[in-house]
Amino acid sequence: MSTELDRVRLRRWRKRGFYSETALVKLLQKKGYYAVRVPVSNPSLNPLPDVIARRGSHLYAFEVKNATYYAYFPKQQIDKLFRFLDQFIPTANAEKHAVIAAHLGKRWLFRELSWIDWEKEKLPEKVRILKRDRGNLNIETSYQGACK
């Protein structure tokens, strides 16, 4: 009985993630980005973000969490964003952005992470976004000079 309950909980948890990833793609597209959900993103060691977006010459790799009051992003997931951008996107780091996105009810919070911390291997063990926090990335005004 408990294994069936665990399966139901796991499916519900995955649906929440899928919903938030899809909602983020729609939000980004509405704001003028080209955006896609990476359907094979998973909790494995593969360096794949949940969502990839482009606006002008800037490329964004998003890790997305759906939560009520706070969201935790483990170091391993943050590292995957940087590895993806570093290994697969052949442009200057100034145009590549690793972003964690917390979907907290109707509110979105975005935090861009530092290339310098990743290059110096100084990423924190986990990053937490609280509902009362302020993000450091505004998707409406981010890099508008680079748009189309």
**Spans of all domains in the chain:** 2-146
Q: Rounded CA gap, 93 and 95, in Å?
A: 5
Cα 92 to Cα 59, 89, 97, 104, distances in angstroms: 10, 9, 10, 32
Is the predicted pLDDT of residue 7 greater than 70, yes or no?
Answer: no
Tens-digit pLDDT profile for residues 40-91:
755 667 889 999 999 999 999 999 999 888 899 999 999 999 999 999 999 9
Per-residue buried b or exposed e for 100-120, using 16+ beta carbons within 10 Å of the residue's own CB = bbbbbeeebbbbebebeebee
Mean pLDDT for the stretch of residues 85-112? 94
CATH class of 2-146: alpha beta
Q: Rounded CA gap, 33 and 129, in Å?
A: 23
Per-residue buried b or exposed e for 6-44, using 16+ beta carbons within 10 Å of the residue's own CB = eeeeeeeeeeeeeebbeebbebbeeeebebebbeebeee
Is the predicted pLDDT of residue 10 greater than 70, yes or no?
Answer: no
Neighbour-count burial of 90, counting CB atoms closer than 10 A to its CB (0-12 exposed, 13-18 middle, 19+ buried): exposed
Q: Rounded CA gap, 82 and 126, in Å?
A: 15
% of the chain with per-residue pLDDT over 90 = 62
Strands (E), the chain: 34-37, 51-55, 58-67, 70-74, 96-104, 107-112, 126-130
Is the predicted pLDDT of residue 124 greater than 70, yes or no?
Answer: yes
Which one, of 124, 27, 110, lies nearest residue 79 by Cα? 124
